[in-house]
Structure formats: structure tokens, C-alpha cells
Amino acid sequence: MVRAVVRQWSDEDGGDPLDAIAEVFELGRPTAVRPVTGGLSNEMWKLDTSTGAFAVKVMRAHTDEPGFRDNIERAHAIEAAAFRRGVPCPEPMLAAGGDCLAVVAGDLVRVHRWVEGRPVQPYAWLEEVGELTARIHNVSEHFDDVLDDEPRDEETWAGLADHAEMPHLLAQHLRRAAPRLAELEAHTAANGVRTRHASSHGDLDPKNALSVGDTLVALDWDAAGPQSVIREASTVALDWSTDPRGFQRVIAAYGRTAGVFPPAEPWVLGGWVAAWGGWLVHHASR
């Protein structure tokens, strides 16, 4: 096997972690490996074995946070249910013992069957992603829950600029933007709104999808969990479109498949606003 591309990664016994992964996940005998570029948070490899090709993800982000493993296992249960119901997504492989995660050479590892596809051009898949989102929502039982957002105020946003390692120019922009950021979060927040939820993907943006022929495939279900179906449909429409017409095409396709259409109210967009706000806070504070 070509191992020169693999970083110095060996377990306590001096064995090869790729062999260990293949054994723990019962993948067959390893024959080739190559790195997969483009990931934002984790490390990915394509592992060829005597039984097929597999995507090996070495988890790097947030692994030391409390409850990380439990969260990933719960997300896997949602993903596995979607796969069984025919939602286009890579087949998740289980480690010995039935978990989706295994510790190899001190790292947490996940494995999926490899799917050969191409990155998507979002505007070419608007109807398809609306339908895919609805199919995912239709897998689980729906339930009603209350949205109680906690928007950040202007002082909180401006305070991010005081982080010790914040570049001066970025700090200036952040302080200047603080009033608008606070206003946007406040305007799209929901407090006491009862709405339909489902167990869903949670992060179905273009980077987490592949085109396989005429089929759109959902990747990277690590953020899967309970979602407001209205908010997630609107978030997907915002992430995949660049103008109001594109947004409407996603929503229309979603509604035709799910039988649910988002109301024209600001709180519908609050999930997208909160997610990007959280991403900004994460980077600004680190």
C-alpha cells in the first residue's frame, strides 16, 4: 500500500492505524490510501480495500468537548435511518460493538462507504435540494416544540473585538457592525413560537453535498439532530440560492414534497442568522 502520504500516525503497539481501521470496521484488507482535500474541520482519507472503497474521517474539531461522542452517535442514528429509507447519502459503517465512532491511534474515526461524485454548483440543484430536504424531514416522526432564541445584544457583539489576538482592522469592522448584527438577530429571533420539528441533517449546505449523475447526495451528517422543519428549509434555500427567485424555487420544491410551506415571517430566517452568528463568534473568540 502507498503509505507515504499518510502522516506519522501509529498506535501504542507500533502498528499501522489504517490496518487497525480496516479491522475495527471490518472493511477487508487495505490496498491503497490517499488524502481527500477540501474538508474544513476534520481529516479525510479514501481507503481502498479488498471489499471496496471507503471514506475515513479522522475527527479533529471539538473532540474534547463534553458529550462529543454521544452527539455524534445520536447524529449517526438519524443518518442511518435516512439511509435505510432511501435518502441519497453514503452508507455509514459501524465499528465492532455497533458504534459509528472508534478510537484508533488515540484519534476518533468514522467510516462511510465511498461515493464517487462531483462538487455541486448550487444554482443548478435548487429544486433537487428542496426535495432532498423534504425527504429527510419525512423520515422521522414530527413533533411540535417551542423556539426560544437568545439573540446577542450590541454590547456582546462589540465585545468580541476586544479579544487579545483580534487583528486591529477586523476589530474596527466588528465594532462598526455590532449594531446591525444585534438588530438582525433581534428581528429574526423567535420567542415562544411553537412549530413543527423533525430529526434532520442540520447542515445541508453545498459543501455537504455531491452530485452523482442526476442525484443529489447528502454528506456529513455530524450536525444532525432535532430541527425546526420550517427554519431548516429556509436555511437550505438561503445557502443554495443567490437571489429571491432562487430562494422561492427551493421553498416551492420543498413544499411540494413535504406539504409544508414557511410563513412569510422574519423568525423563519432566524435559524440561518443564528448559525452564521455562531460561526462568527467561534472564529472571533479563537
Q: Is the pLDDT of residue 2 over 80?
A: no
- 92 DSSP β-pair partners: 112
pLDDT digit string, tens, across residues 70-111? 999 999 999 999 999 999 999 999 999 899 999 998 999 999
Contact 134, 74 (CB under 8 A): no
pLDDT digit string, tens, across residues 170-194? 899 999 999 999 999 999 999 999 9
CA–CA separation, 17 and 108 (whole Å): 12
Predicted confidence band at 204 (pLDDT cuts at 50, 70, 90)?
very high
CA–CA separation, 149 and 189 (whole Å): 6
Share the mean pLDDT of the chain. Answer: 92
Model pLDDT, residue 164: 78
* Strand, coil or helix: 137: helix
Q: Is the pLDDT of residue 15 over 80?
A: no
Q: Is the pLDDT of residue 10 over 70?
A: no
CA–CA separation, 98 and 217 (whole Å): 24
Domains and CATH numbers, the chain: 17-113 (3.30.200.20), 122-150+189-284 (3.90.1200.10)
Among 146, 87, 114, CA closest to 33: 114
Q: Is the pLDDT of residue 7 over 80?
A: no
Predicted confidence band at 37 (pLDDT cuts at 50, 70, 90)?
confident
Among 262, 226, 55, 258, CA closest to 143: 226
For the entire predicted model, the pTM comes to 0.90
CA–CA separation, 211 and 239 (whole Å): 17
- 52 DSSP β-pair partners: 49
Q: Is the pLDDT of residue 28 over 80?
A: yes
pLDDT digit string, tens, across residues 212-246? 999 999 999 999 999 999 999 999 999 999 999 99
Contact 133, 254 (CB under 8 A): yes
pLDDT digit string, tens, across residues 111-153? 999 999 999 999 999 999 999 999 999 999 999 999 999 999 9
- 27 DSSP β-pair partners: none
Which residues of the chain form beta strands (DSSP E)?
Answer: 30-36, 43-49, 52-58, 102-104, 107-113, 143-148, 191-200, 209-212, 215-218, 225-228
Among 135, 180, 134, 141, CA closest to 157: 180
pLDDT digit string, tens, across residues 206-220? 999 999 999 999 999
CA 86 and chain centroid, separation: 19
* Strand, coil or helix: 142: coil
What value does the mean pLDDT take over residues 44-49? 96
